[in-house]
Amino acid sequence: MIKKVLIANRGECALAILRSAKELGIKTVAVYTEVDFKEPIVYLADEAICVGKNFSKDSYLNTEALITTAIQMGCDAIHPGYGFLSENFNFAKSVEENGLIFIGPPSDVIKAMSDKLIAKNLMKELSIPTVAGSNIKGLCDEEIKLICRKIGYPILIKSRFGGGGKGMRRVDDENKLLELIELTRKEAQNSFGNNEVFVEKFIENPRHIEVQILSDGKKVIHLFERECSLQKNSQKIIEEAPCYFISKTLKEKLYDASIKIAKDSNYVGAGTCEFLVDKDENFYFMEMNTRLQVEHAVTEAITGIDIIKEQFRVASNLGISFKQEDVKIDGHSIEVRVNATNPLKDFIPSSGEITFLLTPSGMDTRFESSIYKGSEISVFYDSMIAKIIVKDSTRLNAIKKMRRAIEETIIEGIDTNLGFLYAILFNKDFLRGNIDTSFIEKNQNLIIKEIEEVSNNFGTWSK
């Protein structure tokens, strides 16, 4: 088993890794920035080291600083969590070359899957459906326009090395095509260090379904599916497991495709295959996330499997601790992402000191966060400040439990999206499962209008 791990992340992600490591008897080293010096993990980890100033590029994205710290602190492994360097194959390669264990797939697998065009070509070889698209690198404006006409509008411009909902733009006609391509290139360069983009057909109103897999190099196991269609600007805000609104036949196809992808790519560790599913249950491979997912907790809730612990086991060459036939679904789980944004002001990010905090609890209710009364929400990092995860016997009971959990949650001093999330849980289409990736876009004004109506007097989060 790994003896000592450097946790190359922050916030609730870093705490989740810390908890699993401690329960396995693994020593932990936390890294933090000048603005994060009061983060709980700084006090909870066995050791903590400041690795830079406040900007991510100087700290959590600083490969040299992270690896040097790991070596100096006597670590034998680095866990990247999600975001930051978790899908950066150059970082994974540097970790490997310095004799450390990268808790994730091999760097060459990350490289193949992080390159969306290489991944799409692999899917074609495996006869797994993909969305029609084309590389536009090196093409002139007229050639790009011709390709998009052949694909047919609307189209989607995507970063070749993107992920997490960034580096993506929908184009409905040719008028703004070149302008939006240039904007996407700039965003891709800023977010991923590479400005290459490609175009593909935009699938209208699909569901976003993903399959969690685990592989130890010998066996590949799926942990069923997650429903991730509730998104704003391609960023998930509510996730569920399992999905009751697609057929058992389609589920089996998605499981088989995911296992096939993992086996053929020599995948090792935890990963997620993401698919778009249209109204006729045609499915299309979208991407493979070669890391832990933000929403992994809903899968843990219905299976009872600690995915992070399995990551540690696999990275320690101990193999997965169970077989496929051991994995069962128990109940239904929902996760909401609590963001420091103001839905009543076009979701503008909010920052400042948390002056009061009340968190939910109770049976099968998890509040995962690193915030506390007095903590400072910084402008330097992602707006997600917490996750609430609930589980119950049925989807409707889980929805009712999530409503109760949000009612118990009061965060003062900053704005949050709690009221927006709460209003969604009363939406009739959401209750009926009539959801797709355009749900928020179509219903946003109605949901915002309903915030005051359904929130009554539950604290100040709805303001």
Q: How many residues does the chain have?
A: 463
Spatial separation of the C-alpha atoms in residues 281 and 249, rounded to whole Å:
10
Q: Choosing from 169, 291, 366, 395, which is the catalytic residue?
A: 291
Contact between residue 353 and residue 375 where contact means Cβ atoms under 8 Å apart: yes
∠ CA 277-282-283, rounded to 5°: 50
**Can 337 be counted among the known catalytic residues?**
no
Q: Return the structure tokens found at 307.
A: 């995915």
Q: Which residues pair with 5 in a beta bridge?
A: 28, 77
Q: Which residues pair with 29 in a beta bridge?
A: 6, 47
Q: How many CB atoms lie within 10 A of CB 204?
A: 11
H helix or E strand, kind and range, residue 189:
helix 177-192
Spatial separation of the C-alpha atoms in residues 460 and 305, rounded to whole Å:
36
Contact between residue 243 and residue 227 where contact means Cβ atoms under 8 Å apart: yes
H helix or E strand, kind and range, residue 276:
strand 269-277
For 255-293, letters b (16+ CB in 10 Å) and e give: bebbbbbbeebebbbbbbbbbbbeeeeebbbbbbbbbbb
Spatial separation of the C-alpha atoms in residues 46 and 366, rounded to whole Å:
24
Contact between residue 441 and residue 170 where contact means Cβ atoms under 8 Å apart: no
State whether residue 447 is helix, strand or coil. helix
User: Which bin fits 230, alpha (ψ -120 to 50), beta or left (φ > 0)?
Assistant: beta
Q: How many CB atoms lie within 10 A of CB 189?
A: 15
CB within 8 Å of 171: residues ≥ 6 apart = 148, 153, 154, 155, 156, 157, 177, 180, 202
H helix or E strand, kind and range, residue 197:
strand 197-201
Q: Which of 99, 97, 61, 64 is nearest to 80 (CA)?
A: 61
Q: Which residues are catalytic, by number?
A: 291
